[in-house]
Amino acid sequence: MANIREVARLAQVSPATVSRILNDNQVYKTTDETRQRVLRAVAELGYQPLVRRQAASRVAPADSRFDVGCLLATTRGKYSDPYYLSILSGLEAELVRLGGRISLIQTEQELENPAVLDRVLGASLSGLVMMRPLADPLFSRLRETIPHIVGIDTGHMPIDNIEYDHLRVSKMAVSYLYEKGHRQIGFIGGSVGGAPLKKSRRFRSYLETMEDLGLEVRAEWVLNCEWDDRACIRLVEDLARKEALPTAFYAASDLMAIAALRALYQLGIPVPSRVAVIGMSNIEMSQYANPPLTTIDVPTEEMGLTAARVLTERIRGDRTLPKRILLPSRLVERDSV
């Protein structure tokens, strides 16, 4: 009998996308074309979503159910960043299976509104999942009111954190470009919350790896786009006009890598023969970029699943020391390098 991964492979989407379409999840936007591909794959393979029925039979008793909130990180609109939405998808699916639900989703920017913050603090949440670090005063207020908080790659020490290895992914990306013959390697990225770029672990690892390989880092090759795809396009175009492009870019986000590909395409600069591009995250759309994007895969959906399990264990009595769980990453070779 077919499974959900086989359906996803045939439809050329992620398993999370198949799940969302079959469960008619309205929070996440999918195109009609994607929906039709998934439904055709389901029909062709004769897939029956047995997991959904099994999960329903395992729903926790009413008196053990709980509500949690989610502090959603965004680099674009609230529900338009595929990286964080994939984490949210895994979190939501696993919480439902474990007897919980996400009753509140906010962003850090929304919490700057006192009325929104008061609503969050007064929501009687059993727990909170944070997808980005917060300033200490705000973090302290949340901890005083919400009994259990789990972070997704936040770096806050007093709470559990589910992470990937920032230093390793950058080293993998730069080393791969080096192995492919590149010696002029630029960086595209940003930092969190307006902090200096030097605070970015991915950028620091880029610098260290370049130094270890004996490669020069030129200031003009470091493009701090602050996770804005339009800024990324503009910076790549400016560099090209100065005839100062490196032979390769490591973009610390697939969205920024795709923006760089667009800029290079508009300029008539061939990829990868003139400039190679490698991304980081392996979001679903990266395989459909032009050319398909070489990237580092980060298990975003599994990060959400793991956060749900750790938070549920805390709510149900786990009092062990805070955990730091590091999930693996891997290189995905496509055509942009």
71 lies in some domain: no
Is residue 272 assigned to a domain? yes
Residue 309 has pLDDT above 50, yes or no: yes
How far is residue 14's CA from residue 37's CA, in Å, rounded to a whole number? Answer: 12
- Tell me which of 149 and 77 has the higher pLDDT: 149
pLDDT score of 50:
45
pLDDT score of 75: 64
Domain count along the chain: 2
The rounded percent of the chain whose pLDDT value lies above 90 is 67
Which residues constitute the domain of residue 186?
166-297
Across 17-26, 37-46, 140-149, 297-306, least confident range: 17-26
Q: Domain of 20: which CATH number?
A: 1.10.260.40
Main-chain dihedrals φ then ψ at residue 167, nearest 5 degrees: -65, -40
Asked if residue 331 is part of any domain, the answer here is: no
Give the tokens for residue 202: 């991915």
Least confident of 34-43, 58-67, 96-105, 328-337: 58-67
pTM: 0.79
Distance CA 213, CA 183 (A): 9
Q: Is residue 178 part of a domain?
A: yes
Q: For the segment 98-113, what is each residue's pLDDT rounded down to a tens digit?
A: 999 999 999 888 998 9
Give the CATH number, domain containing residue 281.
Answer: 3.40.50.2300
The average confidence (pLDDT) of the chain is 88
Using CA atoms, how far apart are residues 295 and 313, in angstroms rounded to an integer? 33
**Inside any domain, residue 87:** no
One-letter amino acid identity for 261? L
Residue 129 has pLDDT above 70, yes or no: yes
On the question of pLDDT at 55 being above 80, the answer is no
Q: Which of 69-78, 184-193, 228-237, 313-322 has the lowest mean pLDDT?
A: 69-78
Number of neighbouring beta carbons within 10 Å of residue 115: 7
Average pLDDT rounded to a whole number, residues 164-171: 93
Which run of H or of E encompasses 128?
A: strand 127-130
CB atoms within 10 A of CB 29: 11
| pLDDT over threshold 60, residue 54 | no
Calculated CA dihedral for residues 209, 212, 216, 222, nearest 10 degrees: 20
pLDDT given at position 196: 87
User: pLDDT at position 23, please?
Assistant: 65
| Paired residues of 178 in beta bridges | none
Q: Which residue has the higher pLDDT, 32 or 324?
A: 324
* Residue 107 belongs to some domain of the structure: no
User: How many other CB atoms are there within 10 angstroms of residue 219's CB atom?
Assistant: 5
pLDDT at site 310: 97
Q: Summarize the confidence of residues 316-333 as an average pLDDT.
A: 95
**Position 42 in a domain:** yes
Q: What mean pLDDT do residues 283-288 have?
A: 91
- Residue type at 170? S
Sign of CA dihedral 10, 98, 91, 157: negative
Is residue 53 pLDDT above 50, yes or no? no
- Confidence band for 56, pLDDT divided at 50, 70 and 90: very low
Contact 152, 161 (CB under 8 A): yes
Q: What is the pLDDT of residue 326?
A: 94
Has residue 332 got a pLDDT over 60?
yes
Whether residue 305 is contained in a domain is answered as no
Asked if 2 and 15 touch (Cβ cutoff 8 Å), the reply is no
Q: Residue 128: which of 88, 71, 64, 85 has the closest Cα?
A: 71
